[in-house]
Amino acid sequence: MRPEAVRASPAWRWVPLVVTLAAVGALWWGFPETREVWEAPRIPWATVGLFAVCYVLWTGLRGLRYWLLLDGPTAVAPPVVAIAYVHHAAIDFLPFRSGVLTYPVLTRFLTGLRWRRILASMVGASLGDALATAVYLAWVLPPEVGLAVGLLVVLLVGIGVGSGRVVRASFRRRHRIGRARFRLGWWVGLGLSLVFPRRDFRRWGLWAVLSLALVTLKYVGLTLLYHGWVEVYGEKPLALPRLFQALVVAELSRELPLHSWLHLGTWELAWLAVAGSGAQASVALVTHVTYEAVVLLSAVPAALYLTRVRAERRRLLPGTRIASASGGR
């Protein structure tokens, strides 16, 4: 895919670094919740290190999945992976989930890829996270809840198949979906055809594997971090199914458009509501603060790398014409 010519100010390369450093400083020096970590009996550094490795791996896989969905040249893969780290930190730091905009804006102005592909990659990433999380939820949910979720999925599939008649035949011909297959599984083909630039089953499979791998690393890392802090405070750990449900609900609370800074408070409330143990409030708080500290600190080198991308862009994308905001095209 040939990137378009874009207009961007050189200041774009410094914005992620300045914002990330401000977030790190605010976390460590501006909030009393951070003192809970330093006032703990001890800090489980080995567990924190393992969690940091898991976070770096799962966010790196998230960046690779973005690049896969963008269908861009190999040269833009490193910037897109770096943007994934900054994007995750910005979602937590900026109010009203406005940090979500950092991914499309930075990807557009640092790679020159089309808005349509960038927005479609966001949809594909969210879909992959939802499906991968649903796989694990089906394993840990109580039988009656799992049955209800299964019936809901069957109902939605039935609605989708029944609605196939309203989709115009021109769309079916455009995406080369056979009539029989279109009637039975048009809803799958429709969604994937909108997200991916072309029908490529190997690419779809890689997208599914990356989604499952990064969600697995995410909850393995959070589980290790939780158990590390449980040992420090001498609390009785939750059973694995209940713990996973609590962590999933806490992570879903991050999707709320209105939340406190770094989700402090909302994350813990959602976690404790499922855990059902107020005695573990301190464990939930220090687990969350450590999590956010790793997120922000990991974004610093990524933001520092992005300061160099603009200078190297002519070499990375020779087909892109660059113009400053104050100059000509």
* Domain membership flag for residue 17: yes
Residues 283 and 273: their CA atoms lie apart, in Å, by 14
* Domain membership flag for residue 328: no
Amino acid, res. 98:
S
Residues 32 and 313: their CA atoms lie apart, in Å, by 42
DSSP state of 42: -
* Domain membership flag for residue 165: yes
* Domain membership flag for residue 1: no
* pLDDT the model gives residue 327: 38
* Domain membership flag for residue 244: yes
- Choose among 270, 256, 244: nearest CA to 137: 244
Q: Which residues of the chain have pLDDT under 70?
A: 1-13, 15, 26-35, 140-199, 256-262, 278-279, 310-329
* pLDDT the model gives residue 199: 63
* pLDDT the model gives residue 128: 85
CB atoms within 10 A of CB 29: 8
* pLDDT the model gives residue 220: 92
* pLDDT the model gives residue 258: 62
- Residue 318 has which token pair? 């020779």
**Cβ 299 vs Cβ 88: under 8 Å:** yes
* pLDDT the model gives residue 2: 46
Residue 113 CA: distances (Å) to CA of 6, 190, 313: 9, 23, 12
Which domain does 258 fall in, by range? 6-323
- Residue 98 has which token pair? 């406005």
* pLDDT the model gives residue 234: 83
- What residues does 322 pair with on adjacent strands? 6
- What residues does 7 pair with on adjacent strands? 323
**Cβ 117 vs Cβ 197: under 8 Å:** yes
* pLDDT the model gives residue 31: 65
The structural domain count of the chain equals 1
Residues 96 and 92: their CA atoms lie apart, in Å, by 9
Residues 15 and 134: their CA atoms lie apart, in Å, by 36
